[in-house]
Structure 1
């Protein structure tokens, strides 16, 4: 089944070129079906690139998914045309009285910034608190996962001395967990972060189900036992050249970055990188949509109740 997006969203042409079934609003309105309502809070600077990456992953599902895009505030963007934001993004005040099946909060380039110094920190806390009673399952990606650990478990910000950048091998730790259904015992995934997600530390200080880890990168995937909060510390949405573009940006800025690990063929930046994580990225998002969202959400979103989930856990 398709994802439903606004007719003029730039991602539409990109995804159609990739033979991904995208349904415009005009056609979706004629179908008698209850699509999943998924909200994407896009915190990344290059919003068009990021929204296309996430829409690509959300498309690989038999479920029809109705996407809405959310911006964190109304500050002018340096990397995204204001016309695009005004046309396709909602302000939180426009949707806060509604319920959603799923929420995705993307990463943000804030690895070296303290939480209290983040301009929109209070607003982000408000949205995360709102999600408890208005969203069936929330997926936190990279920096958002670190922020959620602070807001849900009151864990302090833990920062690595050096940036973790590259494609790392991971092992699954709970073979029969729904989010890992169909996963190989080991799989590759990209990381690009300063945030530290130490496996032992999270195991000792949270009640999370730790689902996949890496010896070098720590925890990659974790979830609360009710599956209402899912933490992904890497970037399964990244295109093949995203790490390359970040690396070259840092080189040009004189930051002397470490070359991304296990990324370039023969460890030579002159060789075009190849994506080795697409299949598990698609599988992860399909599993999240199916087992954490579709299987858990009420048919009538007006009947959403946080108490329902608490009773289910009891």
Structure 2
């Protein structure tokens, strides 16, 4: 899929080297097609790495995507250069009068805080409220999924006894829903989090359907009845080495961290990690784009609150 980005976005050059079709704005202007407009609220600290992960994950359909990275004005990023944010990100206040076909809200390393303690919580709530009338479908990832379930449905989260960290097996529960079309009965996915949303509250909510679950990692994939909200409790977009970098970072900080489960061959953290989840991750992102964005959005966006 051609992904339209700004010409100098560093992630674009990296993806081109991986033979992923990245189209700059000038070339896109010469094509008689309306690309799908996708916004990404990137809350992860290492934003450039997340840009690469998400653009790679979105690159597996024949549709053209016009990607806008959205920044929050209520939070000052400390791990990404201000020059990068100023050049490649747009503040939410500057895009709030637009309509988007799809929106992605990423995870964030703040899950041990109460939602209201997060410095950008009010602005994120504003974005999630805005998405109800200005976005066809929103995909929430990890902490972003917990935040979405709390904001939209009042579902709380709780701390885990230890960090859920590694590659876990999940069971597919409802094959008829298009979001999981093409999934195997059992599939792996990465997790890296200290909290989880209340399981019983999710199961008891008539507006939500659980599509995949894990005996060890808990509920993984949830969809709202109308498909306007999708909640993914893990990180399907993670690259091969992302968990390894998190593991090494925590060890260097002296934090109590075990090697990621089911990640290294024979659990030997001196060996190259196995990449086992990308096929299902690609299907997940492609199905979301196809069935819940492309097949649903009108050629001209129509406000849903009228």
- Residue 48 of structure 1 corresponds to which residue in structure 2? 48
Please give the alpha-carbon distance, in whole angstroms, between the structure 2 residues aligned to 1:179 and 1:241.
26
Does the CA contact (< 8 Å) of 1:43 and 1:108 recur in 2? Answer: yes
Secondary structure at the aligned position of 1:196 is classed as strand
Counterpart check, 1:31 vs 2:31: yes
**Residue aligning to 1:163:** 163
- The aligned counterpart of 1:214 is 214
Contact 2:75–2:120, Cα closer than 8 Å, also in 1: no
TM-score, normalised by the number of residues in structure 2: 0.97
Shift of 1:207: 2.6
Q: For the structure 1 residues 167 and 198, does the alpha-carbon distance in structure 2 shift closer, same or farther, using more than 3 Å as the test? A: farther
Structure 1's unaligned 5+ residue stretches are 308-314
Q: Distance in 2 between matches of 1:273 and 1:237?
A: 16
Shift of 1:212: 0.6
Report how far residue 201 of structure 1 moved: 3.9
1:253-293 C-alpha deviation (Å, 9 max, x unpaired): 11121221101111111011021000110110000000010
CA contact (8 A) 2:155 2:202 kept: no
Matches of 2:64 and 2:275 in 1, distance apart?
Answer: 26
After superposition, the C-alpha distances for 1:182-217 in whole angstroms (9 at most, x for unaligned) are 111111000001122454441024531110110011
| Distance in 1 between residues matched to 2:239 and 2:12, nearest whole Å | 16
What's the offset of the Cα at 1:23? Answer: 0.7
Contact 1:76 1:82 survives alignment (8 Å): no
- Taking the aligned partners of 1:173 and 1:197, their CA distance within structure 2 comes to 18
Aligned to 1:266: 266
- Show CA shifts across 1:27-80 (max 9, x none): 001101011000000000110000110000111111111000001226442211
Where does residue 228 of structure 2 map in the other structure? 228
Gap regions ≥5 residues in structure 2? none
| Cα RMSD (Å) | 1.2
The SS at the match of 1:123 is helix
**CA displacement at 1:298 relative to structure 2:** 1.1
CA shift digits 1:156-177 (9 cap, x unpaired):
2222121100000011100111
Change in CA separation of 1:142 and 1:284 when aligned onto 2, cut-off 3 Å: same
Kept in 1: contact 2:155–2:198 (CA 8 A): no
Distance 1:73 1:239 in 2: 28
- What are the superposed Cα offsets for residues 119-150 of structure 1, whole Å, 9 maximum, x if unpaired? 00111111100110000000000001101111
The residue matched to 2:222 in structure 1 has which SS?
strand
Distance 1:206 1:191 in 2: 26
**What residue number does 1:132 align with?**
132
CA contact (8 A) 1:70 1:92 kept: yes
Measure the CA separation in 1 of the matches of 2:222 and 2:288. 12
Partner Cα distance (1:109, 1:60) in 2: 28
- Give aligned pairs, total: 306
SS of alignment partner, residue 49 of structure 1: helix
Separation (CA, whole Å) in 2 of partners of 1:200 and 1:215: 15
Cα contact 1:102–1:293 (8 A) shared by 2: yes
Superposition TM-score, scaled by structure 1 size: 0.95
Moved more, 139-148 or 206-215: 206-215
Deviates more, 1:246-255 or 1:150-159: 150-159
| 1:1-314 → structure 2 map (5 Å cutoff) | 1-73=1-73, 75-197=75-197, 199-205=199-205, 207-301=207-301, 303-306=302-305
Equivalent residue for 1:311? none
